[in-house]
Structure formats: C-alpha cells, structure tokens
Amino acid sequence: MSQNAPLSVLLEQQLERVQSLKTLLEQEAKTIASRVSEDIEATAKQKQILVNEIQRADSQLAQHPEREKLQGDPQCVEYVNTIQQHIQACKQQNETNGMALQRASLSIHRLRNLFQESGGKSELTYDHDGNASGRKTLGTNVKA
C-alpha cells in the first residue's frame, strides 16, 4: 500500500480489511465454542496479523497528502463512517469472544480439577514387590 495511491482506494482496502476482521471474529466465536486449542491459537494469530495491517493502514491514511478529504469529501466521509461502524462491531464481537474464552477456560480448569480429585481416589500402582500403593488406596492399611 502506498501513500501515493488515491485516498478512495486506500479507504476501500481498509474497509475490506475491517470486514475480514469482522468475519474472522465471527469464525473465532465458533472456534472457541469447539474448544480446539490449536484452532483457537491459529485464529488468534490471524486476528493479530489483521489488526496489525489495519493499524499500519490507518497510520498511512493519517499521513496521506489528501487526508483532509477524510472529513470533507462526502464519499470519503461515508467510507470512514462505515469503517468505524465495522470497527465498533469488531470490538463488541471481540469482547464477546473474550468472555466466551474465559468461560471455556474456567470450565476446562474445573474439569481438570475434578479429574485430579477423582484420580486420587482410584489411582493404584504396584511396587517392585507387587504391593499396591497410591495416593489414596482405600483399605490397604486394614488388618483383618
């Protein structure tokens, strides 16, 4: 992307990036619901790349020689307003995704704790003499 490109072209490209981010955030919500950590991580990386591109383009728009058109030219103002609306939708979806991710993480943490607690009750191993041992081996110290 070049600062010499027409402002309208840069705005179109920025709108496309923001729309792509919105779509990716919707996909991220589904990925979080699936709880596949590799997919969640991959989506997060894609999101970060896209956000960096949007920030870079925003910086270039702010330094564009015709930047005053962003507030004066009706077509440019319409693009800017549309981009800002999409950005707001992205922020809202990102916040929703963050809360869903926290809930998923909390439920996984609780499940892990349950497994650890129940694992101690039935964990049973044998030493080299063939005697049972474990953290909570029920009834091994009873002498009849």
Tokens of 36: 């596949």
Note down pLDDT in tens along the chain; length 144 residues: 455 788 999 999 999 999 999 999 999 999 988 888 899 999 999 999 999 999 999 999 999 999 898 888 899 999 999 999 999 999 999 999 999 988 877 777 777 777 776 665 555 566 666 666 655 545 555 555
* pLDDT value at residue 23: 97
What is the rounded CA–CA span in Å between residue 132 and residue 134? 7
Tokens of 128: 């080299």
The answer to whether the Cα torsion of 10, 49, 36, 111 is positive or negative is negative
pTM beyond cutoff 0.75: no
With residues binned 3-state (H G I as helix, E B as strand, rest as coil), the percentages for the chain, rounded to 5, are: 75, 5, 25
Tens of pLDDT, residue by residue over 7-17, are 999 999 999 99
